[in-house]
């Protein structure tokens, strides 16, 4: 049986712990907060160990890292050096050089280094990908992504690294085309010098524009992706109930009104949870040896895009 350790006992760490336990593969919980890890280990009937002691255990096959982003590079390297497969929460690391170095290390060690881009495991992802490649959709022209929430405001990474990363990973997974940053604008909620609201315009390949709007200082939650094709528009609204999340609205023919809402179609989804699918995928690739759909190698364009965004943010702050 594949044995998994989870590092981190925050909100998402506990989600991973619960999910891997439900899948029957949880073996160890690790955290600097020993009281919390011991309590959770007792609840799930597994071991609570330090990271160092866990890495010394030969029967631990894989490690899920759910710690602050600035800690990822060091922990990933430790796990790979100890011959453990790794699933790390997004963003994998906070600079491109660390990413390429760790990808090379994973390759040398013949280990999986997988990034937890959760939306790529949403049951809607494959449905959307199939639809935008169909004759019914036509040619892709524009994508508009909106990701707004009332917190949590991070103290280290900005809103682009925390929220826009989701939509950039989806664009990378849907199109597999170069992502070129055309413009970035941002503002601060509390004059802290940190980006709390932001707008990104990307060129995806040669024919598709993408607009991403993100904020973690917004009174309402809104997670929406609208994909415009030459024959209509596909809407994914993750805030809606499962039966209403994806809709297809074809173009009106010979009309000044662009879309024919009378012909709107809802696209059905199964109710499987994205995190369950993600964790099961990690277990499956450890067994099969196949490359993950969100391997660090495949997700490198996402990190490159985020670094390009950050460079524009830094340049703008320097000028101001």
Q: What is the pLDDT of residues 150-184, one digit of tens each?
A: 877 777 789 999 999 999 999 999 999 999 999 99
**Which one, of 315, 311, 274, 254, lies nearest residue 124 by Cα?**
274
- Supply the pLDDT for residue 163: 95
More confident residue, 65 or 320: 65
Least confident of 55-59, 148-152, 271-275: 148-152
Encode pLDDT of 117-144 as tens digits.
999 999 999 999 999 999 999 999 999 9
More confident residue, 176 or 192: 176
Average pLDDT, the chain: 94
- Supply the pLDDT for residue 170: 98
- Supply the pLDDT for residue 157: 85
- Supply the pLDDT for residue 193: 67
Encode pLDDT of 278-303 as tens digits.
999 999 999 999 999 999 999 999 99
Task: Tell me the percentage of the chain whose pLDDT exceeds 70.
Answer: 98
Residue by residue, DSSP assigns the chain as ---EEEE--SHHHHHHHHHHHHHT-EEEEE-S-HHHHHHHHHHHT-EE--HHHHHT-TT--EEEE-S-GGGHHHHHHHHHHTT-EEEEESSS-SSHHHHHHHHHHHHHHT--EEEE-GGGGSHHHHHHHHHHTSTTT-SEEEEEEEEEEE-PPPSSS-HIIIIIHHHHHHHHHHH---EEEEEEEEE-SSSSSS--EEEEEEEETTTEEEEEEEESEEEEEEEEEEEEETTEEEEEETTS-GGGSEEEEEBPSS-SSSB-GGG-EEE------HHHHHHHHHHHHHHH-PPPTTBTTTTHHHHHHHHHHHHHHHHHHHH-
- Supply the pLDDT for residue 118: 96
Q: List domains and CATH numbers for the chain.
A: 4-111 (3.40.50.720), 120-270+306-316 (3.30.360.10)
- Residues near 268 by beta carbon (within 8 Å), at least 6 away in sequence: 243
* pLDDT, average across residues 10-30: 97
pTM for the full model? 0.94
């Amino acid at each position: 049986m594949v044995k998994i350790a989870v590092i981190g006992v925050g909100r998402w760490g506990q989600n991973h712990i619960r999910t891997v336990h439900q899948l029957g593969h949880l073996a160890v919980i690790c955290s600097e907060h020993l009281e919390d890890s011991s309590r959770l280990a007792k609840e799930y009937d597994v071991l609570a160990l330090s990271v160092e002691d866990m890495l010394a255990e030969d029967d631990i096959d894989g490690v899920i890292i759910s710690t602050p982003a600035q800690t990822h590079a060091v922990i990933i390297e430790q796990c790979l050096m100890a011959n453990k497969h790794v699933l790390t929460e997004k963003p994998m690391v906070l600079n491109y050089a660390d990413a390429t170095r760790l990808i090379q290390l994973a390759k040398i060690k013949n280990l999986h280094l997988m990034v937890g881009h959760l939306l790529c495991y949403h049951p809607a992802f494959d449905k959307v990908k199939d639809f935008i490649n169909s004759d019914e959709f036509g040619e892709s022209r524009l994508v508009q992504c909106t990701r707004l929430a009332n917190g949590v405001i991070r103290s280290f990474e900005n809103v682009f690294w925390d929220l826009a990363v989701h939509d950039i990973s989806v664009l990378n997974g849907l199109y597999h085309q170069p992502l070129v940053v055309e413009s970035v604008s941002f503002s601060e909620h509390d004059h802290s010098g940190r980006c709390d609201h932001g707008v990104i315009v990307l060129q995806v390949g040669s024919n598709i524009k993408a607009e991403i709007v993100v904020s973690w200082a917004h009174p309402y939650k809104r997670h929406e992706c609208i994909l415009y094709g030459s024959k209509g528009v596909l809407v994914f609204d993750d805030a809606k109930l499962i039966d209403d999340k994806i809709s297809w609205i074809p173009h009106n023919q010979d009309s000044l009104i662009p879309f024919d809402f009378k012909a709107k179609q809802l696209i059905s989804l199964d109710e499987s949870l994205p995190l369950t699918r993600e964790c099961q995928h990690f277990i499956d690739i450890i067994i099969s040896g196949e490359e993950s759909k969100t391997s660090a190698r495949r997700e490198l364009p996402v990190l490159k895009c985020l670094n390009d965004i950050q460079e524009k943010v830094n340049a703008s702050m320097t000028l101001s």
